[in-house]
Amino acid sequence: HVGSTQADVTGAMLVSGALSLPGFAGTLLLPRIGRKRALIGGTIGMGFCFLLLATVPNVLDYGVPALGLYTMAVALNWAGPAPATYSIPAEIYPTSCRATLHGISAASGKLGAAISSSLFGDLVAAYGLPDTFAILAVVCILAAALGLAFVPSYG
């Protein structure tokens, strides 16, 4: 079946609308909790959700718990890492090269998203869904470690 049905479009709109709430909340809370804390905390939270999807016996056999954990991971991204990664580059680069370096930062994130989206199906086919979620958990932990090591502690 090629193409989207009305239900597909409606479902995508509902999910997008629901996930805009954590993004809005994260953007408002960012100055209070700090960019680095939001980045690392959200990324570790995402990794924990993916780890549960990878390791809890039979969780992937039950639609609602699996969808809930995956939705939680996406919501944690929109509440912490997403707004942090928009604001951190704008604040850490010198004015003379800020636009260029912020563009490179944004493009790097989009490239990572494109690569992971492209590889997801191949990873599931090669390793299965639990192991693919385990890989995502490891990537999140590595990202949190890189953020801890290289993102300045401010605001």
Q: What is the pLDDT of residues 71-84, one digit of tens each?
A: 899 899 988 898 88
> Helices H, strands E: what count in the chain?
6, 0
d(CA 147, CA 39): 7
pLDDT on residue 139: 95
The percent of the chain in helix, strand and coil, each rounded to the nearest 5, is 90, 0, 10
Asked if 38 and 14 touch (Cβ cutoff 8 Å), the reply is no
Q: Do 54 and 134 contact (CB within 8 A), yes or no? A: yes
Residues 6+ apart with CB under 8 A from 136: 46, 47, 50
Query: What secondary structure letter does DSSP report for 128?
Result: -
- The token pair that represents 41 in the structure block: 């905390």
- Cβ partners under 8 Å of residue 131, min gap 6: 54, 123
pTM above 0.85, yes or no: no
CA dist., res. 111 & res. 16, Å (int): 21
Model confidence over 36-92: pLDDT tens digits?
999 999 999 999 999 999 999 888 887 778 888 888 998 999 888 988 888 888 888
